[in-house]
Amino acid sequence: MRLDAGAMPPNIAVPAGATRAPPTQTCIRVEGLSHRFAGGLLAVDNAEFTVTAGEFVVIVGPSGCGKTTILNIIAGLEAQQSGAVSVAGKTPKAGRIDIAYMFAQDALLPWRTVMGNVLFGVEVRSPGGQISPAVREEARELIAMVGLSGFEDAYPRQLSHGMRQRTALARTFLMPSPVLLMDEPFGALDAHTKLTLEQGLLRLWERDKRTVLFITHDLAEAIALADKILVCTARPGSIKCEIPIDMERPRNIGALQNDARYHDYHRRIWTELAAEMIV
Ligand SMILES: Nc1ncnc2c1ncn2[C@@H]1O[C@H](COP(=O)(O)OP(=O)(O)O)[C@@H](O)[C@H]1O
Ligand SMILES: [Mg+2]
């Protein structure tokens, strides 16, 4: 049996007391980063950028230009070969509790329910796998926030792809990590589900302003979400330009089409990207 849930609830409550880190503090620093894979392929060449604490930064670039490689190095999943990379002043290392990573594929555990999957990230990091009642309650709230109330006991095989990504989003936000790395998390979704998840992500981000580094190939998504967009060159990837997105928050993604600035940004980024593409 496959189940389906409706759209995200439009009025996700934002708990009081959400705090924002000082806006000028650098959280992710990437300097002179290059990466060559075994076999000789140079994937990244002298990439440089910074992400300020609490900032939502989006990377766009041609397919295969090294975006995932950059994210993997920041997460400590790929060994750093040259340059300097730091997250909160420390060098990358896999398994850091202050960094959460969400992939394009939901990576849910098939033998765990929605609740079991949402709790999983916290569980593996807590001594003895203990989950406090407060964390369980927070998991329930996050499941409600992503529109999955009533599906807590469902298994991934009973869910649509969109619902599995919602589960993964709730799991990501249950982690206490102040830094979120997201690699095309909504890439394979239909337009409507994608929009509801983007809006849900923005609401969760508005709630506690974590630092987000998000990869997408979708320019509309990039503009809707970002404080700043980093445009990559073709492989070997480097950052060719940074485009601050100067639009008010909170944003209503559905209404952006009516905003002339949105179309201006789209044109500008597309022009930068098109110059990198071989057609
Ligand atoms: N583990 C690997 N070994 C060898 N080459 C790789 C590996 N991972 C990625 N690549 C290559 O590095 C380049 C950049 O890959 P990737 O970072 O995944 O690009 P993007 O995410 O921008 O599409 C691609 O040409 C890809 O084929
Ligand atoms: Mg990729």
Supply the pLDDT for residue 189.
84
Cα 274 to middle of ligand 1, angstroms: 20
User: Which of 35, 63, 69, 276 to probe ligand 1 with, by most ligand atoms within 8 A of CB?
Assistant: 69
Q: Which of 165, 163, 134 is nearest to 150 (CA)?
A: 163
Supply the pLDDT for residue 190.
86
Q: Which ligand is nearest to the CA of 69?
A: 1
Supply the pLDDT for residue 84.
96
Atom number of ligand 1 nearest to Cα 63: 23
Which residues does ligand 1 sit against, CB inside 6 Å? 37, 39, 41, 43, 61, 63-69, 235
- CA 250/CA 225 separation, integer angstroms: 10
Atom number of ligand 1 nearest to Cα 61: 22
User: Which of 33, 34, 36, 41 to probe ligand 1 with, by most ligand atoms within 8 A of CB?
Assistant: 41
Cα 213 to middle of ligand 2, angstroms: 13
Q: What is the pLDDT of residues 90-106, one digit of tens each?
A: 999 998 889 999 987 76
Cα 44 to middle of ligand 2, angstroms: 12
Supply the pLDDT for residue 16.
38
Cα 85 to middle of ligand 1, angstroms: 19
Atom 17 in ligand 1: which residue has the minimum CA distance?
66
pLDDT band at 19 (very low <50, low <70, confident <90, very high): very low
Mean pLDDT is lowest, of 13-17, 33-37, 156-160, 219-223, for 13-17
Q: Assess if CATH 3.40.50.300 describes domain 26-98+180-274.
A: yes
Q: What is the pLDDT of residues 175-196, one digit of tens each?
A: 989 999 999 999 888 888 889 8
DSSP string covering the chain: ------PPPS-----TT-----TT-EEEEEEEEEEE-TTS-EEEEEEEEEEETT-EEEEE--TTSSHHHHHHHHHTSS---SSEEEETTB---TT-TTEEEE-SS----TTS-HHHHHHHHHHHHSGGG---HHHHHHHHHHHHHTT-TT-TT--GGGS-HHHHHHHHHHHHHHS--SEEEEESTTTTS-HHHHHHHHHHHHHHHHHH--EEEEE-S-HHHHHHH-SEEEEEPSSSB-EEEEEE----SS--GGGGGG-HHHHHHHHHHHHHHHTT---
Supply the pLDDT for residue 23.
59
Mean confidence (pLDDT) of the chain: 90
Per-chain residues with Cβ under 5 A from ion ligand 2: 68
pLDDT band at 125 (very low <50, low <70, confident <90, very high): confident
Supply the pLDDT for residue 225.
97
Supply the pLDDT for residue 17.
38
Cα 43 to middle of ligand 1, angstroms: 6
C-alpha torsion sign, points 158, 162, 168, 174: negative
pTM, 2 dp: 0.90
List the Cα angle 104/47/169 in 5-degree steps: 20
Residues 135-147 have a mean pLDDT of 93
Cα 58 to middle of ligand 2, angstroms: 13
Q: Which ligand is nearest to the CA of 79?
A: 1
Domain ranges of the chain: 26-98+180-274, 110-176
pLDDT band at 2 (very low <50, low <70, confident <90, very high): low
Cα 20 to middle of ligand 1, angstroms: 34
Supply the pLDDT for residue 20.
47
